[in-house]
Structure 1
Amino acid sequence: MMRNGVDMERVKTLTDAMRKDPAVGRRTLSGITSWNGGAHSTTIVRNFAVPADEPVVIGGTNRGPSPTELVLTGLSACIAVGIAYSAAEEGIEVDLIEIDVEGDLDLAGFFRMRRSTGTEHEKTHRVFEIGDTRPGLDEVRLTVRVDADASREKIQELVDRAYQRSPVVAALMHAVPVRVCIGWEETRAE
């Protein structure tokens, strides 16, 4: 049975199998990224090509969303999926899910700069020095709109449940270890 575009029979089959054997639910997600020059790259994930680039103002060519914008996209899409699944599990029909997502980013961290703590003139003119400004998002805000055959309280519950079950939220909120290995290609000297 389809509910909110979710194949509930497949979900039930998977969750039943996971109850019998938790290993059934474990997955390794993967992709391969190829650099296209400058700030532009393409990642192949399953059968999808996902471009990434930076805006022209910071030296990119604007041929795709920035990697940080893709993080925000992943977050809001994951919350939307969680709302749709939570509603489907409860038999609630959803007509609309829209999420505005925004995050605050200080590019000084990427460029390995820190804000000066000097004079008022320096602070006003945003003088930078080489330093330790943290790269990454300082805060992310989501505004969620849901139109469904449910009370406001139930919609709030669905949104809260989507937030709590989101793998992307969990990755952003908790320190997920990131291990980087270098793969060397063997070359023969001739």
Structure 2
Amino acid sequence: MSTQARPPEQSPSQDHINGIDTETLFEKLDQLEANPDLAQTTWRATTSWEGGDITRTHIGSWVLGGEENPQDFEIMIDEPVELLGQGKYPNPQQVLFAAINACIMNTFVVNAAVKGIRLDKLEIELEGDIDLRGFLGIDESVPKGYEELNFVARVSGDGTREQYEELLKAACGHSPNYYTVTNPVPINGRVEMI
């Protein structure tokens, strides 16, 4: 999230913009700027196989500034029947897209609040193509995943097109998920016998 261009002092009626408590946001930004150790986070997810193509991911605690913050969420993932799943839950690609969209959107919304721009509606639609021959090992010359992703952000509110374009650029420039999928980030794995 960009902290540049904070608006002038807001009136009490402007403390919440787009569902964001801007007074608390600015206090948090000042704290993190003054003490960078408080800005360090660690995120975790543990996924278990449930049979077939179904998995259950448990989202437990996360760390902010060295302190554990408890949570307890589950995400179920499957594959479509046409891809040998049961079609009960979204597949990994759809959940990946949801995570990318949500991260870009959250960054967009917070930056709009920082600039005092009120949103009425925001929707992000993302799509991409995968050739299953790469994933299934049929043809090793075929990429295993996406070669590009394309999205459109549909927005309405009291901002101008130029402001929304600037917000989208800032959102993509500061979204952790956008960064992770657009930059080579190593994923290190190992096997443990259980």
Q: Secondary structure at the match of 1:137?
A: coil
Aligned residue for 1:146, secondary structure, equals strand
Alpha-carbon distance, 1:41 to partner:
0.3
SS at match of 1:43: strand
| TM-score (normalised: structure 2) | 0.83
Tell me the equivalent position of 1:30. Answer: 44
TM-score, length-normalised on structure 1?
0.84
Q: Which one of 103, 106, 109 corresponds to residue 81 of structure 1?
A: 106
Alignment of 1:37-56 (within 5 A): 37-45=51-59, 46-56=71-81
Matches of 2:24 and 2:90, distance apart in 1: 32
Aligned twin of 1:124: none
Matched to 1:103, the amino acid is G
- 1:9 Cα shift? 3.0
Between Structure 1 and Structure 2, how many residues are aligned?
Answer: 169
Displacement of 1:133? 2.4
- Give the superposition deviation at 1:79: 1.3
Distance in 2 (CA, whole Å) between partners of 1:43 and 1:54 is 15
Alignment of 1:33-182 (within 5 A): 33-45=47-59, 46-114=71-139, 131-182=140-191
**Mind listing any 5+ residue stretches in structure 2 that lack a counterpart?**
1-14, 60-70
CA offsets 1:24-59 (integer angstroms, 9 cap, x no match): 111110011111101100111132211111111111
| Offset at residue 159 of structure 1 (A) | 1.1
Give 1:132 shift.
4.1
**Post-superposition shift, 1:12?**
2.1
Give the fraction of aligned pairs with identical amino acids, expressed as a percent: 31
Counterpart secondary structure, 2:82: helix
SS of equivalent to 1:34: strand
Q: Tell me if structure 2 keeps the 8 A contact 1:113–1:132.
A: no
- Whichever residue aligns with residue 3 of structure 1, its letter is I
Quote the residue 2:6 is aligned against. Answer: none
**Higher radius of gyration, 1 or 2:** 1
CA contact (8 A) 1:105 1:136 kept: yes
CA contact (8 A) 1:32 1:44 kept: yes
> Hey, which bits of structure 1, 4+ residues long, moved more than 4 A?
none
Structure 1 unaligned segments of length 5 or more: list them.
115-130, 186-190
Residue 20 (structure 1) aligns with: 34
Q: 2: distance between equivalents of 1:162 and 1:73?
A: 15
What is the CA–CA distance in structure 1 between the aligned matches of 2:18 and 2:111, rounded to whole Å? 10
Aligned equivalents of 1:167 and 1:80: distance in 2? Answer: 12
Which residue identity is paired with 1:111?
L
